[in-house]
Amino acid sequence: MIREITPRDASYRLAQGAVLVDVREEHERELGMAQGALGVARADLEAAPHQHLPGPDADIMLICQSGGRSLLAAQQLQRLGYRRVVSVRGGTLMWQAEGLPLTRPTGTVDEDFHERYSRHLRLPEIGARGQRRLEAASVVVVGAGGLGSPIAFYLAAAGVGQLRLVDDDVVDRSNLQRQILHTDADIGVAKVESAHTRLSALNPRVSVEPVAERLESVNVERLIADADVVVDGGDNFPVRYLLNDACVHLGKPLVYGAVHRFEGQVSVFDAGRQRGRMPCYRCLFPEPPPPEAAPNCSEAGVLGVLPGVVGMLQATEALKLLLHVGEPLTGRLLHFDALSMRFRETRLAPDPDCPLCAPGAAFPGYIDYAAFCAG
């Protein structure tokens, strides 16, 4: 049974030589911690208490934000043989409410960072370190339409530091049913400029670079060379093949998405960094289909919410790649059927004879295919 003490009792015992340990995460302690406390995250303390505490017979007090984590940590220390460990009831919140002194690390605390990304910071898989990694990351999103809209919205909201949007189209009224980056007032405006306005308003910490260019063989490497992740939001065959080839050639992970009527697909192609182990898009479809087999989006139609679902999944995969968490969709193709509300997965294997990504294959150069679908 762990005994709980009040913050005032803890302050008195601290003055008498007891050890007070703040077991919150680093980003939480940056906002203020009990004066005189040591800062050691709970997981680190429980994993190696001997590295942070004087010994099993020391007078140990643990404090967190409101008292829950410190109580759990105290129970674990007790199981590890620490006999004089207590938890501070009410944690740092009560310590502050009682007017006891707080201390902050030297330097300016980025309040906006902590408030804006607080839910990410609470995830051990992300935390402050992962969020800073996102802020330092660069992502290229090709297409600012149906797929590009949710992709860009979620990446900007998540705090990806550098977003380059590539699209040479302007907003049309028919776009508004699914391209949620744009409004009626943007009709006739370049999509990348409309997107720049929305995304900057959503998260001014993110640097959004609008590029009003058509992706072609002459500019593809220039546009993606400095990207950590490339996301295909163009949903047309010329972009799909060109991005695949460039990402294999430059060793970039490519997050693929496609929509048609009521169905969508998502995958991650990373053959450039994992030759012979993971496939590229050409392993599945070596050449684009003839135009008659790929009806234009305006002819076939698309359920307005479908690009939202697929684009959100693409944004999820991009964040996982940047954060190095979870299992990416490499070697897997995820299918979504909106009418039946079902997902199914197809395993993808690399083609050992793929002329593009097979080990030892020489890069054949780029091909500019005629457009099949305007997205």
Active site residues: 297
| Helix, strand, or coil (residue 170) | strand
Locus of tokens 């990304």? 117
- Nearest to 8, CA basis, from 61, 75, 83, 74: 61
Facing residues of 302 across strands? Answer: 261
| Helix, strand, or coil (residue 256) | strand
Q: What are phi and psi of 178, to 5 degrees?
A: -140, -20
Chain-centre distance for alpha carbon 55: 41
- Nearest to 5, CA basis, from 52, 69, 62: 62
What is the distance between the alpha carbons of residues 8 and 17, in angstroms, rounded to a whole number? 15
Kindly state the DSSP code that residue 49 receives in the 8-state scheme. G
Region at 341 (left for phi over 0; alpha for psi -120 to 50; beta for the rest) = left
